Amino acid sequence: MITFSIITVTYNAAEVSGRTFESVAGQTYPAVEHIIVDGASTDGTLAVAEEYRLRSDEACNGHCVLINSEPDSGIYDAMNKGLERATGNYVLFMNAGDTFASPRTLAEITEKACLDVKENERRLLPAVIYGDTDIYDAGGNFVCHRHLSAPRRLSWRSFVKGMLVCHQAFYARADIAARITYNLKYKYSADVDWCIQIMKDAERNALPMVNVNQVVAHYLQEGRTTQNHRASLKERYDVMCRHYGTFTTLFMHVCFAFRDLKRRLAG
């Protein structure tokens, strides 16, 4: 059976982490490893996580919850720690406050991506499985569909148009992810760089990337990157220059500006 490692990074997230834990616990798919990497929270986050772990152990539903709490050097350092502990076939990063689209999301992903291969065929598994994302507020209310939609066919060149696949909807094969760590020089956009590198590796090894053609994640509005929008844009520009070149990146950012203006006027 294909296994999933869900990695959730927390720091003083007691108010929102519970909804994420409940969403993972509610998945009907049994082979789930949930790795919680906490940055030594000083609120009630660890108590919420420990209660969740105990309930998971009692449920005996095939889910395994692992908790590690210690100081880190930021969210991407914590994500790297999560990658080191992951033992599943696929890894997914789900931030505190984010949730799956439904209790059957993992089961449906497994079915639609045809992940019923035998052990000796696992090298043929898709490098990336991906879908769409809806935005929800802190009260759990639907806000809107994410304005960037997952393309029918995905390649590393796709992200020249922006991060078309949300990080929470990007399932990477764990053996590939283990070789590609998050670049800690970035504070806000290392996830963009990481996804591009995963997709480049997929192309080098002629591995497919599969769109399951459904909403797979609910993303909490007003996340860390949104709160640091200007710094995030500067980092994203640097990431894109590295992968796509300066001229292409400059041209695309002019296009982004017109796209954002058009969306604001329409709204």
Tokens at residue 240, please? 């894109």
Residue 35 Cα distances to 7, 45, 225, angstroms: 5, 14, 22
Identify whether the C-beta of residue 92 lies closer than 8 Å to the C-beta of residue 109. Answer: no
Q: What angle do CA 253, 258, 263 make, to 5 degrees?
A: 120
10-19, 121-130, 133-142, 226-235: least confident range: 226-235
Identify whether the C-beta of residue 133 lies closer than 8 Å to the C-beta of residue 52. Answer: no
Task: Express each pLDDT in 50-84 by its tens digit.
Answer: 999 999 999 888 999 999 999 999 999 999 999 99
Tally of CB atoms within 10 A around 135: 18
State percent of the chain over pLDDT 90. 77
Tally of CB atoms within 10 A around 78: 23
User: Coil, strand or helix: which one is 171?
Assistant: strand
Identify the DSSP state of 207: -
In one-letter notation, the amino acid at residue 243 is: H
In one-letter notation, the amino acid at residue 100 is: F
In one-letter notation, the amino acid at residue 140 is: G
In one-letter notation, the amino acid at residue 101 is: A
15 phi and psi angles, rounded to 5 deg: -70, -30
Q: Would the pLDDT of 118 be above 70?
A: no
State percent of the chain over pLDDT 70. 93
Identify whether the C-beta of residue 225 lies closer than 8 Å to the C-beta of residue 143. Answer: no
Q: Would the pLDDT of 231 be above 90?
A: no
Looking at residue 67, its pLDDT comes to 98
Q: Between these two residues, 7 and 225, which has the higher pLDDT value? A: 7
Residue 217's beta-bridge partner residues?
A: 100, 133
Looking at residue 233, its pLDDT comes to 83
Can you tell me which residue has the tokens 């689209």? 101
- What mean pLDDT is reported for the chain? 91
Q: Between these two residues, 223 and 108, which has the higher pLDDT value? A: 108
String of DSSP letters for 31-77: -EEEEEEE---SSSHHHHHHHHHHHHHHHTSSEEEEEEE---SSHHH
Identify whether the C-beta of residue 13 lies closer than 8 Å to the C-beta of residue 41. Answer: yes
For 173-184, what is the mean pLDDT? 96
**Crossing angle for the helix pair 229-244 and 246-266, nearest 10 degrees?**
140
Looking at residue 222, its pLDDT comes to 67
**pLDDT classification of 252: cutoffs 50, 70, 90:** confident
Q: What is the C-alpha to C-alpha distance for residues 220 and 143, in angstroms, rounded to an integer? A: 10
Looking at residue 115, its pLDDT comes to 64
